[in-house]
């Protein structure tokens, strides 16, 4: 079996932002589940590590949080994207696509193209 990869902190933050962007306000468990589902179990999130990342994003002002009732009527802390967070996501997304495109182009190059 191939070992699952650890998620890097920066990437995790980006995933969190995108998840909140798509699904709206969500609690920690929900975010973790979502990331797990989308990555198709390829990424093992040591789920606890999500919480320090959430705190950091909140301190940076990218997300905001408040207590609220969960689906089964528990008290849970819900996170939502702020205006700053949305802008941050936009720039991060652009950066990411750019670097991905560059790397992709490198992979497409064949030896004869370079001559």
In the bound state with another protein, the residue whose beta carbon lies nearer, of 15 and 32, is: 32
Q: Applying CB under 8 A, which part among 13-21, 42-50, 87-95, 97-105 lies near another protein?
A: 42-50
Half-sphere exposure of 99 (CA within 13 A, CB side): 5
Note whether 68 binds another protein by CB under 8 A: no
- Kindly report the number of other CB atoms within 10 A of residue 1's CB atom: 3
Backbone dihedral angles phi then psi of residue 27, each to the nearest 5 degrees: -90, 170
Q: Applying CB under 8 A, which part among 13-21, 54-62, 94-102, 104-112 lies near another protein?
A: 54-62
Please give the residues from 84 up to 113 whose contact with another protein meets the rule CB under 8 A. Answer: none
Q: Residue 69 Cβ, how far from another protein at the closest point, in Å?
A: 11
Note whether 8 binds another protein by CB under 8 A: no
Cβ-in-10-Å burial (0-12, 13-18, 19+) of 46 comes to exposed
């Amino acid at each position: 079996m191939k070992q699952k990869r650890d998620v890097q902190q920066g990437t995790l933050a980006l995933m969190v932002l995108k998840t909140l962007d798509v699904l709206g306000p969500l609690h920690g468990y929900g975010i973790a589940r979502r990331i797990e589902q989308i990555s198709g179990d390829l990424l093992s999130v040591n789920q606890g590590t999500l919480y320090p990342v959430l705190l950091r994003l909140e301190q940076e002002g990218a997300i905001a949080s408040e207590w609220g009732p969960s689906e089964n009527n528990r008290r849970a802390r819900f996170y939502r994207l702020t205006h700053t967070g949305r802008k941050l996501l936009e720039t991060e997304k652009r950066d990411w696509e750019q670097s991905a495109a560059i790397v992709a182009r490198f992979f497409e190059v064949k030896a004869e193209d370079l001559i």
